[in-house]
């Protein structure tokens, strides 16, 4: 709601793209996801949603969304959310210049936009391959590839980003997936931008949140940074499956 206050409500003249992890990020996932789905229904051609790694059954069981749905509705409602999540796009290509995904890039240099289009997304995320890496991978300093600190996906360096962009004739990528103190981070010589829109993550991190605005004629990113606003008095991650997850997810 604070993003809409700062940037205006979605409309045909004010389109939005939300970049995954709509749930599991606090104790109001139901309210967040219903708001987003409502705008998708209202403006199907001007409101877009990319799937994140938390739009999955396993993560929802661990980090609280399943418990929140059971508490506020029923287990059957949880199954319906899973069905919808399986159809969320894995990424979006903006004006044939910018690729937006939740996680990051790939273990192979030859992945094309057509390969991504052909990827079967109506399923739970696998532990390897294009779908997995779009949802889970992270950029790293330096070059090359490395094992992911998350245990899923991979870490990719600036040379990997450059090769992918050149191979697909793109300008840069935008991704999310990682808390950033300033709400965003520009890496890989400006070719890889991370944007994280949840300020004071889990009420503990003290980070700013951010979103990016883009004009279609230039696609030059402009950053809006903001602090957390007050929410109703419910503890963060109140529905997570263990105290450790509530503290450290």
CATH 1.10.3720.10 fits 2-246, yes or no: no
Q: Is 188 a catalytic residue?
A: no
CA distance linking residue 82 with residue 149, whole number of Å: 26
CA torsion sign for 221, 226, 231, 233 is positive
Q: What is the pTM of this model?
A: 0.94
Return the domain boundaries, the chain.
2-246
Beta-sheet pairing, 192-195 with 172-175: parallel
pLDDT in tens, 222-248: 999 999 999 888 888 888 876 444 443
Say if CB 59 and CB 71 are below 8 A apart: no
Say if CB 50 and CB 102 are below 8 A apart: yes
CA distance linking residue 51 with residue 49, whole number of Å: 7
pLDDT by residue for the chain (249 residues), tens digit each? 999 999 999 999 999 999 999 998 889 999 999 999 999 999 999 999 999 999 999 999 999 999 999 999 998 999 999 999 999 999 999 999 999 999 999 999 999 999 999 999 999 999 999 999 999 999 999 999 999 999 999 999 999 999 999 999 999 999 999 999 999 999 999 999 999 999 998 888 999 999 999 998 899 999 999 999 998 888 888 888 764 444 433
List the structure tokens of 229: 């606003």
Beta-sheet pairing, 16-18 with 47-49: parallel
Say if CB 63 and CB 248 are below 8 A apart: no
Largest CA distance in the chain: 49
Calculate the alpha carbon distances from 200 to 33, 37, 186, 205 in Å: 19, 24, 20, 5
pLDDT in tens, 104-139: 999 999 999 999 999 999 999 999 999 999 999 999
């Amino acid at each position: 709601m604070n993003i809409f206050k700062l940037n205006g409500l979605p409309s045909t003249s004010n389109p939005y793209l939300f970049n995954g992890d709509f749930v599991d990020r606090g104790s109001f996932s139901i309210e967040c996801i219903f708001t987003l789905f409502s705008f998708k229904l209202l403006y199907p051609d001007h409101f877009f949603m990319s799937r994140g790694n938390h739009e999955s059954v396993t993560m929802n069981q661990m980090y609280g969304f399943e418990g929140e749905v059971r508490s506020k509705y029923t287990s059957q409602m949880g199954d319906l959310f899973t069905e919808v999540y399986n159809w969320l796009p894995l990424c979006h290509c903006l004006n044939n210049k910018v690729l937006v995904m939740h996680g990051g890039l790939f273990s192979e240099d030859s992945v094309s936009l057509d390969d991504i289009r052909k990827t079967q997304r109506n399923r739970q995320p696998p532990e390897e391959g294009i779908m997995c890496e779009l949802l889970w991978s992270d950029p790293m300093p330096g070059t090359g590839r490395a094992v992911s600190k998350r245990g899923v996906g991979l870490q990719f360096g600036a040379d990997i980003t450059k090769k992918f962009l050149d191979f697909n004739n793109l300008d840069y990528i935008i991704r999310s997936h990682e808390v950033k103190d300033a709400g965003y981070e520009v890496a890989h010589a400006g070719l890889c931008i991370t944007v994280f829109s949840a300020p004071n993550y889990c009420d503990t991190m003290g980070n700013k949140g951010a979103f990016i605005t883009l004009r279609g004629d230039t696609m030059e990113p402009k950053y809006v940074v903001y602090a957390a606003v007050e929410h109703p008095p419910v503890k963060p991650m109140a529905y997570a499956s263990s105290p450790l997850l509530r503290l450290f997810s």
